[in-house]
Amino acid sequence: MTRQTNSPSSRDLRALVEAGFDGIGVPGGSVEVVDHSGVVGSVSFGELTVDSTVVLGSTSKSITAIALMQAVETGALSLDDPVSQWLPTLGIPKDVTVQDLAHHSSGLTADSTPGHLRFTKDHSFRYANHNYNLLSQVIETATGLPYTQLLAERIFSPLGLEHSFAIGEGRDCEIVQGHVGVLGRFVPAKLADYGAASWIQTASGATCASAADSATILRMLLNDGESDGVRILSPGSVRMMLTNTIATHGSSAVDGPLGPEGDYGFGWIRKTLDGEDVFVHVGKVPTHTTVFALIPGRGIGITLTVNAGDFLLATPLVEDLADSVIRQTLGKPFEPAAPDIGRSRRGNLIAAYLGIAGLGVAGWLVHSEKAGKAGFLTYHLLLPLVFVAGIRRASGTPFAWLWKFAPDAATILGFSAANMLASGIYKTARGHNQQQP
């Protein structure tokens, strides 16, 4: 079922989006395009409508930035305040400011969690969910309001958003069924734990909203902080969120629609397309995927939601679709997704998994001694460490979340690493026994 407006571009938008979602194979998706006045393009596909509530993922940070600037406007806090002023018991370095949290330049490592804070002395860009988890705690302390209550009272209610809330506030049953990718196919999955001890929390990724509600938020930003006569932010605060940026130095965290280059503001990534500023952010949780795009120079906002997550296969294709929607909306050349692109990539993924599994089993079948001591240690010790610790470190993702995001990859890698290690232990023990008199 498809819902669309009477915009002149609605037919083209519908053709692009439906073909894209169908080719990727997602269970459901929606796209909403707005300008200063309202909706100019709207498409729903499969299980989703534009009013279906999803877990936003990291596009939640764009909403957290609104709450931050509201607190700054009221004088509750300053961007230059040391975080330790507001959270004195957490051991946060005294030179880390509130603005550093918003910019992901606090020195926190990507895998930091509430129970395991790891700081470096480097204040360059390093994307870490816990920056925004801490930011919500600062806002709570400074305003005296629980963060979820603040979202409801100062953003969602004034904007008339009926499908927006925080997980754990008694409305989780309204979240559309999410799916996780397993071998390129989508399997219904339960919501992860997004509580106070989680790596992902409300401020960093567990805010919930529909595509239509998200588009209303973007329209408010396009109108310099005002929506239908209700002022949420000052024009200066909107500009601050978008244009007070730091360099990301090609970080993979900003890769996605419109490529890997961009600067990070407050919950937004500023990119350029043919010299024109486009502000984007992607949201990824195990069961849902979202994309926000804001083009102030054209007065256009775009939201895309999908009730599925597939970190290795489908999610990059959803980002590519968002890229095409942005380009189409701006009248730029774009590359439509190839039909059945999800199916073809699925075959490649399964082939890679079979290769990794075969590599793990080979240790039982091949006489490793022929490779010498160095080869034996490389295969039976170094490779298992790379498969487990190396990939976890490179991804900056805690083990529990690696499993949630990519259960198939985690299973295959764990299976292979365990077999490599076990076959090495067995052969070492057998060799030792054979040397006994």
246-269 pLDDT per residue, tens: 999 989 999 999 999 999 999 999
* pLDDT, mean over the chain: 93
Which domain covers residue 165, as residue numbers? 10-329
Q: State CA 297 to chain mean position distance.
A: 26
Residue 4 within any structural domain of the chain: no
Residue 369 has what pLDDT?
59
Is 87 buried (19+), middle (13-18) or exposed (0-12) by CB count in 10 A? Answer: middle
Is 82 buried (19+), middle (13-18) or exposed (0-12) by CB count in 10 A? Answer: middle
Do 238 and 385 share a domain, yes or no? no
Percent of the chain with pLDDT over 90: 83
Which of 274, 302, 329 is the C-terminal boundary of a domain? Answer: 329
Percent of the chain with pLDDT over 70: 96
Confidence of residue 436 (pLDDT cuts 50, 70, 90): low
Give the Å distances, CA to CA, from 21 to 1, 213, 310, 317, 327.
13, 21, 13, 9, 17
Residue 318 within any structural domain of the chain: yes
pTM of the model: 0.93
Residue 4 has what pLDDT?
38
Please name the residue that has the structure tokens 């938020």: 217
Do 91 and 22 share a domain, yes or no? yes
- Are the CB atoms for 148 and 169 separated by under 8 Å? yes
Average pLDDT of the segment spanning 115-136: 95
Residue 415 within any structural domain of the chain: yes
Do 279 and 367 share a domain, yes or no? no
* 194-204 per-position pLDDT tens digit: 999 999 999 99
Residue 434 has what pLDDT?
63
Residue 324 has what pLDDT?
97
- pLDDT value at 131 more than 60: yes
Which of 302, 329, 356 is the C-terminal boundary of a domain? Answer: 329
Average pLDDT of the segment spanning 82-110: 97
Do 220 and 309 share a domain, yes or no? yes
* 310-336 per-position pLDDT tens digit: 999 999 999 999 999 999 999 999 988
Do 236 and 264 share a domain, yes or no? yes
Average pLDDT of the segment spanning 112-138: 95
Average pLDDT of the segment spanning 274-286: 97
Residue 3 within any structural domain of the chain: no
Confidence of residue 396 (pLDDT cuts 50, 70, 90): confident
Average pLDDT of the segment spanning 139-163: 98
Residue 293 within any structural domain of the chain: yes
- pLDDT value at 23 more than 60: yes
Residue 1 within any structural domain of the chain: no
Say whether 301 sits in a helix, a strand or coil: strand
Which of 277, 303, 329 is the C-terminal boundary of a domain? Answer: 329
- Are the CB atoms for 155 and 63 separated by under 8 Å? yes
Do 298 and 417 share a domain, yes or no? no
Residue 370 has what pLDDT?
63
What is the total count of domains within the chain?
2
Average pLDDT of the segment spanning 410-436: 85
A 10 A CB-CB count for 261 gives 16
- pLDDT value at 420 more than 70: yes
Confidence of residue 388 (pLDDT cuts 50, 70, 90): confident
Do 234 and 189 share a domain, yes or no? yes
* 206-261 per-position pLDDT tens digit: 999 999 999 999 999 999 999 999 999 999 999 999 999 999 998 999 999 999 99
Confidence of residue 5 (pLDDT cuts 50, 70, 90): very low
- pLDDT value at 372 more than 80: no
Residue 368 has what pLDDT?
59
Do 289 and 429 share a domain, yes or no? no
Q: What's the CATH number where 21 sits?
A: 3.40.710.10
Do 324 and 424 share a domain, yes or no? no
Do 254 and 363 share a domain, yes or no? no
* 34-52 per-position pLDDT tens digit: 999 999 999 999 999 999 9
Do 424 and 347 share a domain, yes or no? yes
Residue 5 within any structural domain of the chain: no
Residue 2 within any structural domain of the chain: no
Residue 2 has what pLDDT?
37
Do 64 and 210 share a domain, yes or no? yes
